[in-house]
């Protein structure tokens, strides 16, 4: 059996999510987050979807900023 050295293996961390480019996010506003089942602040994308700033869930249904779901 190997003698302990006091060094621990580093865990594998998942790759960080890429940041949104300024041209992708049009505006931030409150919208329904289906993952958290509550209203949260979202970045609304030029492509029509949105990203929850809290849990980073991407929702592809086109809801305008301030729109209710």
Query: pLDDT tens per residue, the chain (69 residues)?
Result: 667 666 666 566 666 666 666 667 678 889 889 999 999 999 888 878 899 999 999 998 765 555 544
Q: Write down the domain spans for the chain.
A: 25-59
Which residues neighbour 38 within 8 Å (Cβ) at sequence distance 6 or greater? 32
Tokens of 61: 């249904």
pLDDT score at 23? 62
pLDDT score at 61? 75
pLDDT score at 18? 65
pLDDT score at 17? 62
Residue with tokens 């940041």: 19
């Amino acid at each position: 059996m190997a003698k302990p050295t006091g060094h621990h293996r580093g865990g594998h961390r998942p790759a960080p999510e890429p940041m949104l480019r300024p041209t992708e996010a049009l505006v931030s506003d409150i919208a329904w987050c289906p993952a958290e089942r509550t209203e949260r602040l979202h970045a609304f994308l030029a492509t029509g979807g949105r990203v929850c700033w809290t849990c980073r869930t991407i929702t592809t249904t086109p809801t305008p900023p301030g729109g209710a779901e």
